[in-house]
Amino acid sequence: MNKVTPKLENLGEIFPDNWSEEQKAKGKTIFLKYLSEKAHKFYGGKVQIAPKAPVLGFNWFNVWYTPGVSKVSTTIRDNNDASFELSNRGNLVAVVSDSTRVLGDGDCTPPGGLGVMEGKAFLMKYLGGIDAVALCVDSKGKDGKNDPEKIIEFVKMCQHSFGAVNLEDISQPNCYRVLDALREECTIPVWHDDAQGTACVTLAGLLNALKLANKKLSDVRIVFFGAGASNTTIARLIITDGGDPKKMVMFDSKGTLHRKREDIKADKRFYRKWEICEQTNPNCIKTMEEAIKDADVLISLSTPGPDTIKQDWVKLMANKSVVFACANPVPEIYPYAAKEAGAYIVATGRGDFPNQVNNSIGFPGILKGALLVQASKITDNMAIAAAHSLANYAEKRGINVENIVPTMDEADVFPVEAADVATQAIKDGVARKPMSWEDAYNAAKKDIEYSRSMAQSLHDNGFIADPPSEMLDEALQWTISQIEK
């Protein structure tokens, strides 16, 4: 057994050599969950607010606050857009959630989402050079039901303090109403990362997977398992980018989506699902066996597995099939099991397996690009531009069946993505501050390097401590006890 290190490299190798692939896969989940809780308690969360301006003497307090700051207030009063440059607003994102669908754990109560929302803020800072604040809100009305209008009103009220809003972990159908309303009614970009972010990175992964399989997006048959915000948005972006909706079938908890699903048509809250019913599955296929036979692609964002997607289904797919099993924290089928069943390329949402198709490589660059040009919204064209940016970046440095998209440790992918998104925002006419691709790239790269250097400096100088080795040993022993009991 290898020694556990704070870097957690080669995570699968820390477990006993005689463990099966299934035991190692389960062990990773148990280990990471246990360690995460202990580490969050040790550090008291994972983000903080720090000054970005110096205090060079007593009178600098009077510059940063009263009376000097009065000039800042009146300048912004006369030109609200000045707030993007005279305050941190131009690089500040609100991560907003009512915590009603946190990962695979469902409704975790408003404060229960803080771990995930702080995680978003952490990644935005380190990967995108963006400041972010976690805002978990109570969306329940007097009847005890979650009311999307309360989230809409909250975001509209606080939008003037931020350069963009990242919606997260809002259950459907409320998430559709919240996003669509805020995209139209706010003067800053509102991005739903569970939907748009996941769709963007999934499209990027699919583009490169199909290149390796020597297939065209317009030709392939795709089965979507799960009809939540993520998969419905993935389908929409794939269709917009050239996929054939007539060759697509989507499943929800009641069966396939098609034009005869009167239950979906009758519930106006699920209008996004009804759009899929109208566009896809023209033959009204009803069973998985019929839908999956000779399908080229299976994209699943459904109930965490590992037995949600059956090996027998994968065996029915076409040659060189592509399987995306992206439920978190446990994929619907483990990669080794999908490969055993004949899948050519397998992707999950987890970084401890090959091909992490996760929005973590999307939103830092996408939001950074939108912020740089002070965009008023993030269009579908901007999301598709980000997908192609990610796919092209990976292709240029080399792709293979276990490496179809960039990873979070490829630092340069984020300024490239930001510049591509900023350029598309200008083309779409939603940018307040046009700039060249090179200027956007350089600005993003500078901010990202600043954030990473600051984090490294805080660690090197002891302001951020190493996790105690006992914490890692304890997590490992707990994992072994749970797997072998």
Whether residue 369 sits in one domain with residue 399: yes
**228 and 318 together in one domain:** yes
For residue 37, being part of any structural domain is answered with yes
Count of domains forming the chain: 3
Mean pLDDT of 91-113: 93
Answer whether residue 464 shows pLDDT above 60.
yes
The torsion defined by the Cα of 138, 139, 144 and 145, in degrees rounded to 10, comes to -150
The confidence band for 1, taking pLDDT boundaries of 50, 70 and 90, is: very low
Contact 93, 125 (CB under 8 A): no
pLDDT category, 13, cuts 50, 70, 90? confident
Q: Is the domain of 176 the same as that of 209?
A: no
| Cα 308 to the center of its chain, rounded Å | 22
Same domain, 128 and 240: no
**CATH number of the domain where residue 283 is located:** 3.40.50.720
Would you say residue 158 has pLDDT above 90? Answer: yes
Q: Are residues 184 and 287 in the same domain?
A: no
* pLDDT value of position 6: 58
Residue 74 in domain:
yes
Q: Is 65 a catalytic residue?
A: yes
249 & 397 share domain:
yes
CB-based burial label for 296 (10 Å; 0-12, 13-18, 19+)? buried
Task: Tell me if 180 is assigned to some domain.
Answer: yes
> Domain for residue 2, yes or no?
no
Burial 469-482 (b: 16+ CB within 10 A, else e): eebbeebbebbbee
339 within some domain = yes
Given 130, 159, 188, the domain boundary residue is 188
Tell me: do 155 and 206 sit in the same domain.
Answer: no
Residue-wise burial string across 301-337, b where 16 or more C-beta atoms lie within 10 A, e elsewhere:
bbebbbebbeeebbebbbebbbbbbbbbebbbbbbbb
Does residue 313 carry a pLDDT above 80?
yes
120 is catalytic: yes
Domain boundary among 188, 205, 232: 188
> What pLDDT score does 58 carry?
94
Residue 6 lies in a domain: no
Burial (Cβ within 10 Å: 0-12, 13-18, ≥19) of residue 282: middle
Q: What is the CATH number of the domain that holds 139?
A: 3.40.50.10380
Q: Do 203 and 120 share a structural domain? A: no
- Is residue 4 one of the residues assigned to a domain? no
pTM for this model (two decimals) = 0.92
34 and 66 belong to one structural domain: no
Of 38, 120, 215, 377, the active-site residue reads 120
Q: Are residues 201 and 222 in the same domain?
A: yes
Give 236-270 pLDDT, tens digit per residue. 999 999 999 999 999 999 999 999 999 999 998 88
- Residue 7's pLDDT is 62
Q: What is d(CA 234, CA 471) in angstroms, rounded to the nearest whole number?
A: 39
The SS3 call for residue 133 is strand
Q: Identify the active-site residue in 65, 216, 268, 446.
A: 65
Q: What is the pLDDT of residue 2?
A: 44
Q: Does 52 reside within a domain?
A: no
Which of these three, 172, 188, 204, is where a domain ends?
Answer: 188
What pLDDT score was predicted for residue 304? 86
Return the residue matching tokens 């994992």: 479
Does 331 share its domain with 377? yes
Residue 385: per-residue pLDDT:
97
429 and 484 inside one domain: no
- Please give the pLDDT value at position 361: 95
Identify the domain containing residue 125 by its residue range. Answer: 60-188
